[in-house]
Structure formats: C-alpha cells, structure tokens
Structure 1
C-alpha cells in the first residue's frame, strides 16, 4: 500500500544521502527500513507569539536542531491573515489539490471531516505506517488506547499525529478572576454561588472599591463569544448545561433549547439592567479589556492563568494594592459544584498533523514525525536547547533567563517560541513542567486548582462526523449561530424581552437544530462503540 501511494505522488522528495537507514519498529529482525526524508513541505499557521520575533518556523531552535539530527530540511508554509483568512487559504489549498506534504490544523473542524479526506485521497491512513515506522508513537498508543481512539475515525483509520495534553493540570487554564484587593477592602468573601456573585458585583458598583471617589467601577465584563464556546463556558455551568451541544447520560442535548438557558439569559439580562455587566460588553476586545483591568476599573472577568493573571500582575506591579485571585465556577446552590467550566480535552483537535497524498515517501515523514514522541524530541519541543533555553537541575529541566527574563524584552511565551513549540502545538506530548514554569505567581497555580473543581462531565468527546453529516450540520449551524449570536446580546441588553424566549426556541427548531442534535447523537454513539 505504501508503495502504491508513493508511486502515485508527484512530489519530488528524495532520500537523504547523509543519514543512515535504521530498522523500523514492529518488524522481525529489522527487515523493513526507512530513512529520514531529505526535505518535505509543512503547512501550518504562524501563531502570534512566534510572529512577535520570527517569520518562519525554520528559525525555531528546535527545528534547527532536528535538521542537524536528521538531515531533513522542512519547508514551512505559513498562511497569512486572521482566522477567517487562514480558513479561506486552507479551503483553497484543499480544493485546488495544491497540497503540501504535511498539514497541521484542527482536522476535527475541517468540512466533511477526516474520514472523507482519506476517502477522497487528500490525506492518507496512517495505521500501518505507524506500526512500521513510528516506534515511539506506537508505544504511546499501545499504552494509551483511549487516546488512540480519539485520533481515529469511526472506521478505525488513524489520520493524524496529535498534540496531546495528558496531565490534568494542562487541560485547565481559564476561568473567573476577581480583584482580590477590592474584596478585601469591602470585607467580602469570594462569591461561590450566582446569588453571591450578584451581591459582590452590586458592592463593586456601589461602594467605590477603587477609592477614587467616582462611580466608575465596572463590576463584571461578560464575553458573549465565550458563553457560546463549549470549551470556555462563562457562568453557564451553574445551570447544569452548556450553550450548544453537550451530553447527559449518553444523550446529546442542545443548551439553548433548555429552560435552564432561559433562566441563565434572564439572570444576565437582570444584571445588565442593574449595571452589573459592562454596558459596552458586545464591543469589548482584548485591548479594551486590558485597559479596563490596568485602568483600575474592572472588578471581575474571565481570563487565563498565564495570559491574564500573570500578564496583569506584571503590568500593574507598581499599583500599591492591586491583587487578583481566581474564583470557582459558580453554582446555583450553596455547597454545589458547577457542571462545567473550561476544560481542554486530552486531544484538543487543534495542531493535528496529517500526511497528504502528495508526499512521495510518507514512511520517511512518519519516521521524522515520530521523533516528537521520543525523549529527544520531547525535550526539544517542550524545552528547546539544553544550555541555552534550559538547564538540568536536580534531574529536571529549568528554563534559563533567556526565557524567564528575556534580554530582548520578549514575554515568556514569545521567548519560548524562539526555541520550542510547547503551548503552541504540534506532534508531541505537552510537558507539565514546561507549563508550570510559566506560572511565576502563586495566584496562577492556585487558579488552575480552583478552576479544575468544576465537574466537567457533560462535554462531548472528540467525535467525528461523516461527510454528509458534516455538510448537514454546517448548513444548520451557520444559520443557528448567526441568529443566536445576535439574539443573546439582544436578550441581555433588554432589546428583546425575555417573554419572547419561546419564540427564540421555536426559531432554532425551524432552523433544524433538533436534526443537528440527532446527527451528534449518532456520532457520539459511534464514538462510544469504537
């Protein structure tokens, strides 16, 4: 099969003359051999932290070192523009069949799904190639059959080399944050229920916690895009649901059809009318959010352990009292636990690497990708270059000052991007120590523990849809999402009265959302039966 794939390719990739052939894993006596490729092309988005100081991943120290080890020249192709433009360029590449050898993207979100991409000849099935030429990755899959299940289609075809967050602490990094110094000044405990939240936000509104004698405090910044994002879930877990698709007892449900969602909307609408939610919330972007936090006017918001708590404590370090701390995801009842907060899955889908049908010698590329799951590749992708970006201390790697206090003034993640790929994704296992070392403040480590206390049992696993299912759901959800994104803002701001919520639900049903639920149910059943 490999020979047939190779023979049909138009790619001119050749053998690497300077690299010795080595026996492949999974063979008797090493009868099959594969070399590293001399070169291959690799399509992948250039993340923002990398773009701060790099123009191409070939400049990353880890990839330079891999070239020394393997003799392989990787030709990185980076799409330009924002998310919509990247998606457009990806779709054009697929439609035109002008494929690179390797593509890294979220294949769970690709139209028609990965099984269709295999059947149409866009990407190749990897099962046998992994068995023969990826000993590190094969060993990992053998030891973690649950993860093997995540990266295959319902037909059993493995389609990607994944980015894996195996440790639980790597999966939680986002949640509610409060001005702890405001709580202390007003003598308030941390709010734990929705009622507690309302009392706290009311005190922020009325009792001048920033002490400037003006009523300029913004109690809470709501971000509606995060409410409808099933992995971020601002506040909604208190009502035991998610905004879109979720599961209970193996049955798929859609949150915006539920009576609990009406209660959720009614609460937010009431808070907005009382001045507890930022009046400009629909238009607030990252820069405005930063300005509100650093400008000493915002009391509570959702954010990241590193990109929010760490960043703001750095930016406002000269403020005499400024302090942030994490809040638990609120429940409705005292002593209760939120049904869901932010939780990244073990295999998040993003950064999955596939080999396309254009690759002339896929077995060689498989061997190269397998390095990321071995010890040497693990260290390169997670820590970079020993003696430069990290040093071993007491048997553990620790980042050097080139990362922690970058001489060029780069932020922690920006400095990491020069040397490694941890936190930025790719074909490897993310290291917990790498993640924890960016937590320079105890409040960040505390936040991860506090946010992890949500139950997080209702999120869907990484199911895959068939081509027909994918097309059907896309058609339905394009209309649903456009309508819902507009309507929830209207409900919250009081432009649309809550008395019209039943009409809203009827409209969602007219768009076909119940049919989409059925599609997801069939996909979940298939996933559970793999």
Structure 2
C-alpha cells in the first residue's frame, strides 16, 4: 500500500507508559463486561499484543460455492499480512446459521468475535449483554477512535447499533450512502413491453392492463400460452404497499400498526385473488423456490417479478446476453393506486444493517481486539475491505480505487458476484463501512442505475426503525408472533387462491386478535418509544 498503516501498527506497539496510564484509567471497564476483578489481568489485557483471534461468521452462500473460509478472501489475507494477526475463521454449516448460533451461545466458551444479528438472540442483544455473552463497546470507544468519530458524526448510526439501555452491541456493517440501502424492487421485461407497444406500468390498474397483455398476446413468441405475467410471493411488499398496508408492522405519527389487519390489506388480497383467478399471477407462486424462479426467468416465461439489482437484474441480463440478446429487464416504480402519487412503502435497508461483530465475554484480549477491529473503519482498512490488495484487485487512478480485471473480468470465469466474494468483503458484510465507490463499480448496467433511482422514490415516513423487544417481553412476544405468522400466512394464501372467500376477512382479523396481535402491537409501541428515546 502507498500509505503506512499507522492504525494497524498501534495494535501491536503500545508504549509502556501509555499502557500503564490506560490500565489506571480503564481498569474497571473490563470488570463490567467480563466479571473479572483482577487488576493484574486487566493490565495484562491492555499490554499484550494481539496475535490471533477466533472469528465466527456465516459464510455467504455465493462464497461457500468457491471457498471453505473467509480466510481465503484477498481482503482478509491482506489485513492479516499487514497486521500479523492470525484470524481463525469459524463458519456454521450452510443453512444452519440459527441452530448453530444457538448451540454455540449455550456453551460457556465462545470464539473471540461473533458476527451475527445479535438482536435475534433470545431476549435480544440487551439480554446477551446481561448474560455476559458479549461485551458492549461503550467503555472501549477511546480504544476505537475511528468508530468513535463515525458515531459522533452520525448519531443516528449510534442509535441503530445500541440497545435501549444505550449499550453499543458491536462493530457494525455500515452503508455510508442511501443508494447502498436500495437494492431490491419490482422489475419487468422491457423487451416484452416494447414488443406489445406498452409503457412501464406505474399504477395497479396499469399493471393489470400490462399483465393481461402478457397473458394473452404471446410476448415470448413461441406460440404457446406459457407466459407467467407476474411471479411474486404472497404478501409481497412492492404490491401490498400500494394499498397503504405492508405485510408487517409500520407506524403512522409514532403509532404502531399492523398491516395485515388493516382494511387496505383486504383490498390488496382482493386484487391478488383476481390476478390469480385470471392466470396473471403464477399458479405455483406459493411453492416456487429460487432455483425454480431462475429456471422460469431464464426459460423466457416470466414477465415481471421482484429482483435484486445485482443478484437479479444484473445476473439475468448476463445469463441471457448470449442466448437471447434482446432480453432486457428494467426496474419499475413502486406501484400506487392513483396516477402521480408518491409511493409510501418500498424496500430500504438500514444504514446500520443489524449484523454486528461483537466481542464476546470469552475474549481474553478485549482491548487488542477492539483496536484491531476499529482499524477496519480507518480509511486504510475501509480501502482494503472494499477493494482488496492494491496492484492485484484494484489500482489507484487519479487517487480513486478502480477494480482490476481480476474482479471485473475474472480470469477463472467466475460470475462477477462470485469474483467480488473471492477478493473483497464490500459486497457482503463485516465490521467496516461499505464504500460508495465499490457500489458504483458493482452496479454498472444502465438498467441497474435506473432501477436504483426508481426504487429510491418511496417516502418511507411510515417505516419502522430497528426497534428492540424488551427482555421481559421477548418470550411472550416470540410466542405470539409464531402463532400470528403461522395463521396469517396460511390465510393470506387461502384468500389469494380462493380457498377462503374474502367476506371472511373480518373473521380472520378477529382470529388474529384472539391470538394476541393487540398485545404484540403494545410491545412494538413500547419498543418504538424506547428507540426514539435512545
């Protein structure tokens, strides 16, 4: 690298005078987190150089297809080479993340760092801290100057990465720009629209007109009535939101509501039922998995669906480029009921995603680990995690990092999504800030850029922030919502396919109230108020 990594060096070279002063100032801090009362242990912890950490994290499925460990990723190899810290990655088996996490935290010995959605811990992150499974970072922020500066500059980020008590859960994955929070939305076959001389639909009525044409006018040109006008799951936000009621909790003027019991949701279900009866909605929508969806889209059957920018629009455009050059998928605006209306609901990730690399109560060198992870938030660390190794996976052009062909035109023939997984962490997650310059180079097709703009339009003023359920309510809330979701999902499916008539919607709402949805709303309301007061 062109610039010396002063932050990384600090992990290993702590002047003796500084160590003594630091131990004197913070000797009691580790007591809060680890339960230790030994001043000698605290002093040792502050002065020992960090040489190795154990790190538990899910191996992203795209990465699991080409590697056994994140230790093979160019970015992490570069971090280890520059710091001398050996990272022993531990990955749960594919498809067993939750189960293996629960087994791990039930033990008395945890890895040094666990990267996970800690608010999914039974009782939430607040309970994990009470159980001494993880150590909050509040008392260690002076050892994390890069993260501390980010939180001072972005107080909303601190709210998102804290418990209701104000404890900082761990080192977060942060999306620094709003464009990085938008990566999923409604999409349609533009070449089919052009063939039938139709415009991109914007309202529910316009969608109906387009879907009818896809069904009846043979846009794939094979002479068979095999088109699937739209393929979406039951309760799909992009369409339910048009009726003002998402398939989840939302808030109006700081009052929490539950979409599936609101009158607008009945209107949504009536529309989906009509589309299903007329053959516009895929008859197998309830059982189509990701592989079947791939087959239907690449088999030239699907006219519209909901897609990711890169793992959807980008992927299918690349897959079909040779066999069907005219194949074109574009994003559409989130539909509304009235022409010109601004969409209210849409997909938007939080800038702090909720995945935290937390320092565990089993960690024997908390300060060294904090310093090490904090340097990933420095400009140097950010560059490595997002771009890898200079001269190998990126070069600096006029001071700006540009990916090389090792990433963009992988010599091993890897799809671009897997080439990114092989070399960097910017396309995945981890304890660092996702660089907007990464996103700009990852999302390159005009169709993707236009979709991002369209999908960024919703106002989101009714969106719920990342609230936490109080520890004392967690068991009851989990029990209620398990029953609610099971019944709700079953009934939504029955309403759409016509197995239950919609004149039973009021009975369905009454049943949800009987299962405790009003109590769950009170718990969510309390969580929203605590979040606002963080």
Please confirm whether the aligned pair reaches a TM-score higher than 0.5, indicating the same fold: yes
Asked if residue 185 in structure 1 is aligned to residue 195 in structure 2, the reply is yes
Asked if residue 128 in structure 1 is aligned to residue 139 in structure 2, the reply is yes
Asked if residue 59 in structure 1 is aligned to residue 72 in structure 2, the reply is yes
Deviation at 1:520, TM superposition (A): 0.7
What does residue 215 of structure 1 align with?
Answer: 225
Equivalent of residue 420 in structure 1, options 411, 424, 435: 424
Deviation at 1:295, TM superposition (A): 1.2
Deviation at 1:166, TM superposition (A): 2.1
- TM-score (normalizing by structure 1): 0.92
Is the 1:175–1:342 contact (alpha carbons within 8 Å) kept by the matching residues of 2? Answer: yes
Deviation at 1:17, TM superposition (A): 13
Describe the SS at the equivalent of 1:40. Answer: strand
Is the 2:11–2:368 contact (alpha carbons within 8 Å) kept by the matching residues of 1? Answer: no
Describe the SS at the equivalent of 2:260. Answer: helix
Deviation at 1:439, TM superposition (A): 1.9
Asked if residue 326 in structure 1 is aligned to residue 331 in structure 2, the reply is yes
Asked if residue 338 in structure 1 is aligned to residue 343 in structure 2, the reply is yes
CA distance in 2, matches of 1:486, 1:369: 44
Unpaired segments ≥5 residues, structure 2: 1-8, 27-45
Deviation at 1:69, TM superposition (A): 2.1
What does residue 241 of structure 1 align with?
Answer: 245
Deviation at 1:320, TM superposition (A): 4.2
CA distance in 1, matches of 2:253, 2:433: 31
What does residue 21 of structure 1 align with?
Answer: 14
Is the 1:390–1:397 contact (alpha carbons within 8 Å) kept by the matching residues of 2? Answer: yes
Residues 336-395 of structure 1: CA deviation (Å, up to 9, x unaligned): 122111100111213x11111100110110001001100111011101011111111122
Unpaired segments ≥5 residues, structure 1: 1-15, 228-232
**Matches for 1:369-388 after TM superposition, within 5 Å:** 369-388=373-392
What does residue 197 of structure 1 align with?
Answer: 207
**Matches for 1:485-500 after TM superposition, within 5 Å:** 485-500=489-504
Residues 456-500 of structure 1: CA deviation (Å, up to 9, x unaligned): 121111112221222121010111111122211111111111111
Residues 269-302 of structure 1: CA deviation (Å, up to 9, x unaligned): 1110011100111111111111111111111111
Equivalent of residue 521 in structure 2, options 517, 522, 529: 517
CA distance in 2, matches of 1:333, 1:264: 14
What does residue 186 of structure 2 align with?
Answer: 176
**Residues 235 and 347 of structure 1: is their aligned pair in 2 closer, same or farther, counting only changes over 3 Å?**
same
What does residue 3 of structure 1 align with?
Answer: none
CA distance in 2, matches of 1:396, 1:459: 35
**Residues 209 and 161 of structure 1: is their aligned pair in 2 closer, same or farther, counting only changes over 3 Å?**
same
Is the 2:11–2:372 contact (alpha carbons within 8 Å) kept by the matching residues of 1? Answer: no
**Residues 197 and 24 of structure 1: is their aligned pair in 2 closer, same or farther, counting only changes over 3 Å?**
farther
Deviation at 1:236, TM superposition (A): 1.4
Is the 1:329–1:338 contact (alpha carbons within 8 Å) kept by the matching residues of 2? Answer: yes
Aligned length: 504
CA distance in 2, matches of 1:114, 1:250: 23
Asked if residue 167 in structure 1 is aligned to residue 177 in structure 2, the reply is yes
**Residues 143 and 34 of structure 1: is their aligned pair in 2 closer, same or farther, counting only changes over 3 Å?**
farther
CA distance in 1, matches of 2:300, 2:458: 29
**Matches for 1:27-426 after TM superposition, within 5 Å:** 36-82=49-95, 85-131=96-142, 133-224=143-234, 227=236, 233-318=237-322, 319-350=324-355, 352-426=356-430
The ranges of structure 1 where at least 4 consecutive aligned residues each deviate by more than 3 angstroms after the TM superposition are: 16-19, 22-25, 30-36
Cα-Cα RMSD: 2.1
Is the 1:108–1:114 contact (alpha carbons within 8 Å) kept by the matching residues of 2? Answer: yes
**Residues 373 and 192 of structure 1: is their aligned pair in 2 closer, same or farther, counting only changes over 3 Å?**
same
Deviation at 1:310, TM superposition (A): 0.8
CA distance in 2, matches of 1:214, 1:153: 56
Describe the SS at the equivalent of 1:234. Answer: helix
CA distance in 1, matches of 2:251, 2:144: 35
Deviation at 1:24, TM superposition (A): 7.6
**Residues 36 and 204 of structure 1: is their aligned pair in 2 closer, same or farther, counting only changes over 3 Å?**
farther
CA distance in 2, matches of 1:18, 1:217: 59
- TM-score (normalizing by structure 2): 0.91
What does residue 438 of structure 2 align with?
Answer: 434
Asked if residue 459 in structure 1 is aligned to residue 463 in structure 2, the reply is yes
Describe the SS at the equivalent of 2:172. Answer: coil
CA distance in 2, matches of 1:77, 1:45: 8
Describe the SS at the equivalent of 2:413. Answer: coil
Deviation at 1:34, TM superposition (A): 5.2
CA distance in 2, matches of 1:101, 1:111: 20
